[in-house]
Structure 1
């Protein structure tokens, strides 16, 4: 670098030389109680001729002039200490080499200590002045905000907020009573968080930012409820990993979403095992454009398959996920096939050309009321016959593993959709030992924000001013996030040896009416402004879903979020052949479809009235 090119570097160097001079003379003054004898005064001044160049060289070599004082940090202080220490060693070596014994040894010790204080102090004083000048009250035009949480996330957040003109923090609330009365970055900490309303009123805050990304969802939910009850706009920070890796910016602070409150613990994947299963292999996903299928594709892409084959009947969905993967994983080789899983010839063509090693079958009709009457036969054809068609093609192509995405609605089903998925499970188990392909079934409940689910519907209704429609005040459902479901599907696919039904740990069921109330509050409304309306259970809908049938036994697995349910029944050969004939028969009216499903899914409770 050139001092002529950057005058700020020259100014910094001059400052440090003046600091070295002051520290040198001050060390002599302290040695002689501020009464330096004339002889030692001359010695001290003569020594500056070689002391200052030695320190200047050390400062330059250690890169003290590459950083900006405005952003002086602990790392900069460490470089400064190292540079001063080397300069002091060079000074001591010069004294010994040139026999300059008249310089007191105490001066050689005091000088670097004083120099660190002067240089470090001036840098941090400049940073403090600069930040106050840029972000202090005289310049600040942001909004007062409360920070909920007093951990590392809050510390990172405060550091960024102090540089922002959008917000300024006025206080911190934390559930740990041991932190009450203490301070974080100069701000008082209040406990418990139930005081949020009073603190907000006293300090004039209208917003609260929840900085608790590593806390349990129940704690975050409670904090959001208290903030909403206090009339505050509730915000949250990104993930804990983003905070710690320095990727947080004030612009990434966002409103709290329902997923934040219903959030679950991160999934621990056997990355090495999944990489062995998927890495370098051809992987095929049916229903690749759907909510679960597309997330599976995103997760699979991380493990670098040799080729990812996307199959979907929706042209737009197929195009969307293909374009997304081409941007996010530029080196990934993808191939998209527009196909209906019921089309035996087309499915056979795909498997013959692609020769996949692992198949994830997510294609299905999943909307319960829509499949209940006039579309019942289509549900059978897609969910049961479509599954069998893909399963047989997988066997012919000698696919190593076939993973079927099933649902909790397949347990003691009361609707056509659930019964057809249960039938798909039975078909996979029936063909499991008829070739090299190992069939694994994964069963889980609702996922947050999936296409056609209740959450997008509630968002739309709230945006329109209500009412928010809930079928029954006591209806409950299990929920998990789409990424968590996809990750557990991969883990189950790795662990499965063939013939198992893996049941995902879904946590506690959630009342849909409570979910609706949370969404209304998080949108900044009250139930008086956006009302909830009960419309009655829809065809095929039941108050609660089950994850295990009564006659199924579960086994633990090495993964805490996966259990195995082994079925007690199998399809006898004669019944299997009869079922195949029924699946390939012509279009049937809804009552006949339900009667047939009842025959092949004994636990199905059919409503034959429509």
Structure 2
């Protein structure tokens, strides 16, 4: 129906209601008929004109009445009340008398008939939606603002496939009450029983402020039912603009980390990055690209995307240019192993801050290719750090790993040696050099989550190395935030570590991912393959001699690892090409563990 036709229809209906209301009022209250004709004429014309004036003023003809609510009812009340008040004033002026009883009856009839004519659209629409037998019976966890919003959206949406039949909430005062006509059926502990009794096919967790451990507990109960479980976005995602509040999504494995995400000191980071020149090595990788996204939120003057893979650098360049058109973005295809190229790039841009994320990180691959691990992780780090020192960079932040603590792998050992280089550079340079240790990063390239997803997609089995294998986990955005926060906190020489909560069993991660993918452990089997070369059953974030007990920022600790004689590391770099695989592997581990004769603590 066109707007003009709709407008004419509503005005015609309103005109009939106006005339009907006033005539019926006079007929009911003035049975003698002695004053009806003159007063009715004046009152009818006055009410007719004033109603349409106020109807336009309060936009009664522009409302979408299929979605009418309290706001629309308020507009009707105001329009009718002002119309009746206007008629009373006109009566007083023309006939020197206000027929109060008649106007009150007219007001009542007017309100009721106008309201009925409008809300009948809403009633028709709700009936049409609610009689759909194909909708899935849905239970909403959370009877607060989030649950109310979700329920209202589902009830009012014709396209929704979900029918909310009730709520669950641990607030005892809400039990047995109704919200939008749907009862609060019980508490979270009653979830399995309610799902079975009410034949629930779908569960929505609608508590945006839910803590991670609370979500974990709810999901553990929900996963034992056959209902599909989804979740409202977190408050953090809503505030940051990543998602809208009504974007219900599947529960993801990242949601089930046993702690809340690290927050940023926005003011401190802004001071370091806003209108500054920032260079990111490994900018095309999963961590490096997310660092670039996070940096751009603080509006640097320019950001240099340095990486060896042209396709990945091109992808992040295009993404950032589409999102941040006001930031100068420069891609540089370069290898950190090329010392002269690193100097050239640093001299060209003279960055204020460098985030060094370029590294080889795959443990079994580096175990078989130790020469490449040394060239990229050790030599590459020295090249970038030296170039940053010579270019007078203010802050240099290196991305390290928890595998650098008491390393048993070539990858972990080369990252530990890279940390030693950073600590040495901090002692001889005006640049503030720091390192940041991560646990395992969920969803990063080469991590366990993408592997598990591929295996589940292929029908299984999901391969886990050992039933007791445990790891610390963090998300890619969290890892990147920690890098930025470390740069803001840097005084020089520190190794920053995130308090990552309790470690997670890899087998539990696999089971959760299987359930989140809609399968059972009977459908997707789990197989144990044995610990791979270089792997440990558990990881550490700080060695015994490295621990500072106090947090320097919420959820962030500072390590105190001693620097070493840089000559030993330079000698390793020089002799690396001539060493055999086993010789190089052993020497790298010896240096990382301070087991070389000429290796000694400095100062």
TM-score (normalizing by structure 1): 0.88
Q: Which moved more, 1:487-496 or 1:587-596?
A: 587-596
Deviations along 1:156-177, one digit per CA (max 9) or x if unpaired, are 2222323235222233333334
- For 1:211-230, list aligned pairs within 5 A: 211-230=206-225
Cα 1:595/1:227, change in 2 over 3 Å = closer
Instruction: Say yes or no: does 1:401 pair with 2:392.
Output: no
What residue is the counterpart of 1:608 in the other structure? none
1:592 to 583, 586, 603: 583
Aligned 1:112-511 pairs, distance under 5 A: 115-133=110-128, 135-137=129-131, 139-162=132-155, 163=157, 164-240=159-235, 247=244, 252-262=247-257, 264-372=259-367, 374-511=368-505
Q: Report if the CA contact (8 A) 2:302-2:329 is conserved.
A: yes
Contact 2:374 2:576 (C-alpha < 8 Å) held by counterparts: no
2:50 aligns with 54
Query: Is the alpha carbon distance of 1:41 and 1:603 closer, same or farther for their aligned partners in structure 2, counting shifts above 3 Å?
Result: farther
Distance 1:531 1:86, change over 3 A: same
Equivalent-residue separation in structure 1 for 2:27 and 2:263 (angstroms): 63
Residue 515 (str. 1) matches residue 499 (str. 2): no
SS of the residue 1:540 aligns to: coil
Query: Where does the alignment leave 5 or more consecutive residues of structure 2 unmatched?
Result: 597-603
CA distance in 2, matches of 1:451, 1:8: 56
SS at match of 1:6: helix
**TM-aligned CA deviation for residue 402 of structure 1:** 0.9
1:149 touches 1:210 (CA, 8 Å); kept in 2?
Answer: yes
CA distance in 1, matches of 2:2, 2:172: 57
Q: Render the CA deviation track for 1:224-272: whole Å, top value 9, x for unaligned.
A: 33333222233334444777999456xx544332122227534432323
Question: Cα distance, 1:83 vs. partner?
Answer: 3.7
C-alpha RMSD of the superposition: 3.0
CA distance 1:110–1:412, shift in 2 (3 Å)? farther
Listed one character per residue, the Cα deviations across residues 287-335 of structure 1 (whole Å, up to 9, x for unaligned) are 1111111111111122222221111112222122222223333333222
Q: Which residue of 1 aligns with 2:570?
A: 580
Q: Cα gap change, 1:29/1:454 in structure 2, threshold over 3 Å: closer, same or farther?
A: farther
User: Matched residue of 2:575: which SS?
Assistant: coil
2:223 partner SS: helix
**Deviations 1:390-417 (CA, angstroms, capped at 9, x unpaired):** 1111112111111111111122222221
Deviation of residue 530 (structure 1)? 2.0
Once the two structures are superposed, what CA deviation does each residue of 1:427-455 show, in whole Å capped at 9, x if it has no partner?
Answer: 11111143332112211211111111111
8 Å Cα contact 2:46-2:86 kept in structure 1? no
Which residue matches 2:70? 74
Aligned partner (choices 16, 34, 39) of residue 35 of structure 2: 39
SS at match of 1:378: helix
Closer/same/farther in 2, CA of residues 554 and 53 from structure 1, 3 Å limit: same
CA distance in 2, matches of 1:604, 1:535: 32
SS at match of 1:584: helix
Segment drifting more, 144-153 vs 543-552: 144-153
Does the C-alpha gap of structure 1 residues 82 and 241 become closer, same or farther in structure 2, counting only changes over 3 Å? farther
| Structure 1 residues 28 and 604, CA gap change in structure 2 (3 angstroms) | farther
Q: Cα distance 1:110–1:545, how it changes in 2: closer, same or farther (>3 A)?
A: farther
The Cα shift of 1:361 comes to: 0.6
Q: Partners in 1 of 2:91 and 2:268 — Cα distance?
A: 63
Q: Decide whether aligned partners of structure 1 residues 412 and 61 sit closer, same or farther in structure 2, where only a CA change above 3 A counts.
A: same
In 1, the alpha carbon distance for the partners of 2:446 and 2:24 equals 76
Q: Deviation digits for residues 451-504 of structure 1, max 9, x if unmatched?
A: 111111111122222222212211111111111221222122112222222111
Q: Are residues 17 and 257 of structure 1, via their aligned partners in 2, closer, same or farther at CA, if it must alter by over 3 Å?
A: same
Match of 1:63 in 2: 59
2:216 and 2:258 in contact (8 A); partners too: no
Work out whether residues 476 and 544 of structure 1, in 8 Å CA contact, stay in contact via their aligned partners in 2: yes
* Bigger Cα displacement from structure 2, 345-354 vs 317-326: 317-326
Gap change, CA 1:46 and 1:485, over 3 Å in 2: same
Verify: 1:14 aligned to 2:5, yes or no.
no
Tell me the SS of whatever aligns to 1:65: coil
Q: 1:29/1:287 Cα in 2 relative to 1: closer, same or farther (>3 Å)?
A: farther
Contact map agreement 2:54 2:79 (CA 8 A) in 1: yes
Which is further off, 81-90 or 287-296?
A: 81-90
| Bigger Cα displacement from structure 2, 101-110 vs 337-346 | 101-110
Query: What SS does the aligned partner of 2:381 have?
Result: helix
Q: Secondary structure at the match of 1:363?
A: coil
Distance 1:132 1:355, change over 3 A: same
**Which 5+ residue runs of structure 1 have no aligned equivalent?**
606-610
Count of paired positions: 591
